[in-house]
Amino acid sequence: MADDTTDTKSSNQMWGGRFASGPDAIMEEINASIGFDKKLFAQDIRGSIAHATMLAHQGIISTDDKDKIVHGLNTILSEIESGNFEFSRQLEDIHMNVEARLATLIGPAAGRLHTARSRNDQVALDFRLWVKEELQKTERMLTGLIAAFLDRAEEHAESVMPGFTHLQTAQPVTFGHHCMAYVEMFGRDRSRVRHAIEHLDESPIGAAALAGTGYPIDRHMTARALGFREPTRNSIDTVSDRDFAIEFLSIAAIAGMHLSRLAEEIVIWSTPQFGFVRLSDAFSTGSSIMPQKKNPDAAELVRAKTGRINGSLVALLTIMKGLPLAYSKDMQEDKEQVFDAAESLELAIAAMTGMVRDMTVNTARMKAAAGSGYSTATDLADWLVREAGLPFRDAHHVTGRAVALAESKGCDLAELPLSDLQAIHAEITDKVYDVLTVEASVASRKSFGGTAPSEVRRQIAFWRARN
C-alpha cells in the first residue's frame, strides 16, 4: 500500500503499463463489473420499473415521480438496445450506470428509485431473472434436440447396429434404440432444468441490503409483477444466495457431459473404420493438407466445451465456499462463469441438434458390423436354456466353445455347420440358426425398455406424447 511519502512517479514505475495512473486505476479495474454485467440491462430496468411502481402504489414515492422514473427507464432501455448508451467503468456496474443516466434524464426524482432497496437485492434480482430466462431457453433447446432424436429413432427403429460395452461388440441393438438412450439423457436434463426454474422462482427484491426495510413495501406485488411465484422468505439468505446460478451450472455440466458423449460417438462413428455415419459438410471441415479428410470439428469442439462448463461450475462453487453471510463482493465473480457456460451450452446443443438432424446413417455398414464379433453368442446361450433346458451357466460354457471354434475357423457362429455345433452339444438342432441372425436377436428382446423394434416404437410414442 502506498504511504503518504510515496511520490506518484516512482509508484507509476512500479505498477507500470495500464496501471500507470496509480491506485485509482487499479481499484477501478478490479472493482468494476460493467464490462460483463451490462448483459443484465433489460432485467435491471424491468426490476426497477416494478420496484418504482410498487413504491408509488404503497405511497412511498409520488405517482408523479414514479411516472418520470418509468419513462426515464424506458428511454434508457431503448438507448441501450439501439447502442446509444455510453457505459462508464467509473460507475462500476449496470445498476449505477442506469441510475446515473436516469438522473441526467429526469433530475432529482431519479434519487427516489433506490428507496427501500440496495444493490444487494437488486443484483440478486437481475441475475435471477437472467438465469430464469436462460433456463427457459435451455428447456426449449433441449426439446428441439429430443425432437431431432425422436425423428431419427423413428426412421431407424429397425436398423440394426452393434451395441457396445467397453467399446467392444456386445449384442446387436437398433440404431433407433441407441437414439432413444439419448432422448432419456436429455429428457433428464430437461427435467432438471424445470426443477431449477421452480427452485429459483422467488423474488429477491425488497430484501434490501440484508435486513429488509422499514418502508411499507409490498414484496408480493413486485414478485407478481416480475413473474415470480412468490417473494423469498429470508432477507439475509436472499442476498447471500447464488444457488440458482450454481444449479444452472450443475445442470449445464451434466448436460455438457451428455453432449460430450454424443460428440465422442459421432467422432468414432464418422471414422472411415466405423463408417456408421457421414456428417454433413455444414458440421465438418476439410484438412488443409490431406484432401481425403473430413474432420468432425464441431463434435470435437462440443466435446471440449464440457471442460469449460465444468471449469465454470468449479469456479463458482469455489467462489462461494466459506463466504460469511450475507453479501460479499466476491459474489460479483458469479456472472462471467454463468454467461460463459450459458453460451457454451447453447452452442453445444445447437451444434448437436444440427448434426443429429443432418448426418447420413449408413445402415449397411451398421448391419455388417452388428453381425461381427460373435454378437449373437448370448442368443445361442439363451436358445440352449430355452430349447435344451440347460442352466444358463452351462449354456454360457457351451456357447464359449462354439465361439472358440468359429474363431479358429475364421467364420461367424451362423456359419458353423450343424455337425460342429452338435459335437459341442448333442441337443442343438437346425432351429438354432433362427436366432443367430442379428434381426432375430433384436426382435427377440421385447422386455420393457429392450431393443426390439416394437419396444423402441413404444418408447418413441411415450416421448412424442410428452415432448
Report the chain's terminal Cα–Cα distance, integer Å.
60
Is the CB of residue 446 less than 8 Å from the CB of residue 455?
yes
CB of 92 to ligand ARG, least distance (A): 6
Is the CB of residue 136 less than 8 Å from the CB of residue 196?
no
Q: Which is nearer to ligand ARG, 80 or 438 (CB)?
A: 80
Number of residues that bind ligand ARG (CB under 6 A): 10
CB of 455 to ligand ARG, least distance (A): 51
CB of 123 to ligand ARG, least distance (A): 4
Task: Tell whether residue 190 is a contact of ligand ARG (CB under 6 A).
Answer: no
CB of 239 to ligand ARG, least distance (A): 9
Q: Which is nearer to ligand ARG, 240 or 306 (CB)?
A: 240
* Closest by Cα among 141, 151, 144 to 460: 151
**How do 230-231 and 202-203 pair as beta strands?**
parallel
* Closest by Cα among 294, 423, 281, 276 to 354: 281
Task: Tell whether residue 332 is a contact of ligand ARG (CB under 6 A).
Answer: yes
How far lies 232's CA from each of 125, 159, 198, 343, 401, in Å?
A: 11, 52, 13, 28, 67
Draw the binding track, 299-328, toward ligand ARG (x: CB under 6 A; -: no contact): ----------------------------x-
Task: Tell whether residue 126 is a contact of ligand ARG (CB under 6 A).
Answer: no
- Interface residue with ligand ARG among 70, 77, 98, 123 (CB under 6 A) is 123
DSSP state of 323: P
Active-site hit among 166, 288, 408, 419: 166
CB of 212 to ligand ARG, least distance (A): 16
Q: Which is nearer to ligand ARG, 97 or 284 (CB)?
A: 97
Q: Which is nearer to ligand ARG, 184 or 330 (CB)?
A: 330
Q: Which is nearer to ligand ARG, 145 or 331 (CB)?
A: 331
Neighbours of 122 (CB within 10 A): 27
CB of 451 to ligand ARG, least distance (A): 51
Active-site hit among 21, 287, 372, 454: 287
User: In 3-state terms, what secondary structure has residue 284?
Assistant: coil
Task: Tell whether residue 210 is a contact of ligand ARG (CB under 6 A).
Answer: no
CB of 31 to ligand ARG, least distance (A): 8
Cα-based angle 329, 70, 221 (whole degrees, multiple of 5): 70
User: In 3-state terms, what secondary structure has residue 161?
Assistant: strand
DSSP state of 445: -
Rounded Cα distance between 100 and 284, Å, is 48
Helix (H) or strand (E) holding 303: helix 297-320
Is the CB of residue 41 less than 8 Å from the CB of residue 95?
no
Draw the binding track, 91-120, toward ligand ARG (x: CB under 6 A; -: no contact): --x-------------------------xx
Task: Tell whether residue 46 is a contact of ligand ARG (CB under 6 A).
Answer: no
Cα-based angle 273, 407, 369 (whole degrees, multiple of 5): 30
Q: Which is nearer to ligand ARG, 87 or 433 (CB)?
A: 87
* Closest by Cα among 373, 377, 367 to 421: 377
Q: Which is nearer to ligand ARG, 33 or 353 (CB)?
A: 33
Catalytic residue flag (residue 287): yes
Helix (H) or strand (E) holding 243: helix 243-269
Draw the binding track, 52-91, toward ligand ARG (x: CB under 6 A; -: no contact): ----------------------------------------
Is the CB of residue 153 less than 8 Å from the CB of residue 460?
yes
Q: Which residues are paired to 286 by β-bridges? A: 294
Task: Tell whether residue 331 is a contact of ligand ARG (CB under 6 A).
Answer: yes
Catalytic residue flag (residue 280): no
Query: Given the rule CB under 6 A, which residues bind ligand ARG?
Result: 33, 37, 93, 119-120, 123, 327, 329, 331-332
Catalytic residue IDs = 166, 287
